[in-house]
Structure 1
Amino acid sequence: MTAPRRTGTENSKTRLRLLDITERLMLEEGYAAVGVRRVAREAEVAPALVLYYFRTLDDLFLAVLRRRADEEWERQARLLSGPQPLRALWRLSSHPGNALTTEFTALANHRKTIRAELAAHAARYREAQLEALTRGLAEAGTDLPPEVSPAVLLMLTNALGRILMMENAMGMTTRHEEALAFVEQILQRYEGATASAETPRG
């Protein structure tokens, strides 16, 4: 019987450095720049050491995705527990940290394991966001137009935030001011002026 292959501990400094390097490469050069040899070269270690901690390249990608997903889940929970969940949703949807999610979304087109993991996290986030938004609107006594449910408002907020973020990353900001002014009008209509809150990390 073949003995199970050993892997490095999850909290080792080397493993964390490999994750940091992989995430940086994805953000700076795109997921296609990530490979076992490239990560090893950036970390100044042998490729075999990368494979000691991560059996496959998919395992490396999954570890990066899960680490950031756990961090985002905790941050989202803090933001959505505040008095202005719609503003919190807007910040979560439009901040530059979503650039990594964009890379994973592109990667998911080619790797089934990444696609399944990303879909599971996205569904979990959406349900939590919808619950917080529905609760916040109810507590504020806010009535949406009959054709706009909290779920529709949530998806429109997420979609517009991501579009603006992606276009900003490309250096294209045409008509963004109009869109942002409209968003601010909607936010003030339903939640009033901005209250101090944590800014999502990029």
Structure 2
Amino acid sequence: MTAPRRMGTENSKTRRLLLDVAERLMLEEGYASVGIRRVAREAEVAPALVLYYFRTLDDLFLAVLRRRGDHEVERVTQLLDGPQPLRTLWQIASHPGNALTTEFAALANHRKAIRAELAAFAERYREAQLEALTRRLTETGTELPPEVSPAVLLMLTNALGRIIMMENTMGMTARHAEALAFVEQFLQHHEGAVADA
């Protein structure tokens, strides 16, 4: 029986560089631009070194997803701990920085391993958001309409934010002003005007 091939260390500078390059390519050119040879060329290393750290291209994609995912769960939990959790949730949901998530969603259509990992991350992310949002709404005494639970509000906010962000990317803005005015009116009713930073 042969010994399993040794992989590079998790916190290696080279590994971080390869992940940075793959993530940048996904954001700038889309997931289809990421390949072992392209990442190696951009990082100025040999393709064999990329394969030393990541056995397959899917392993590279998964590592990018996991690294970004862990950071994002922490970041969002901290952000939602502020004085205006509803406004913060809206800002997170409608931020164009969600482009990497969109790339992973497109990639997941073609790769089972990515789809399973993305779904697991999305569920963990949503539960972390819901826990932080519910806690802050309770702490701040913010009352939602009785028919709108924190979970429903979370789903609606994320869905509307994602739709507006994706449509803006395509250059489509029909009825956005009305939707955004509704969101602002809802936020002002429940949390007041934007708090000073």
Q: Are 2:112 and 1:125 aligned?
A: no
Identify the residue that residue 200 of structure 1 maps to in structure 2: none
Mapped partners of 1:155, 1:53: distance in 2: 37
Identify the residue that residue 93 of structure 2 maps to in structure 1: 93
Per the alignment, do residues 196 and 115 of structure 1 end up closer, same or farther by CA in structure 2, a change over 3 Å counting? farther
Q: Structure 1: which 4+ aligned runs deviate by more than 4 Å? A: none
**Which one-letter code corresponds to 2:167 in the other structure?**
E
Mapped partners of 1:63, 1:2: distance in 2: 25
Q: How does 1:42-57 map to 2 (within 5 A)?
A: 42-57=42-57
- Where relative contact order (Cα < 8 A, 6+ residues apart) is larger, the structure is 1
Q: How does 1:1-202 map to 2 (within 5 A)?
A: 1-196=1-196
Q: Is the 8 A contact 2:58 2:114 kept in 1?
A: yes
TM-score after normalising by structure 2: 0.93
Q: What is the CA distance between 1:139 and its match in structure 2?
A: 3.3
Runs of 5+ consecutive residues of structure 2 not aligned to the other structure: none
Runs of 5+ consecutive residues of structure 1 not aligned to the other structure: 198-202
Mapped partners of 1:153, 1:128: distance in 2: 14
Give the length in aligned residue pairs: 197
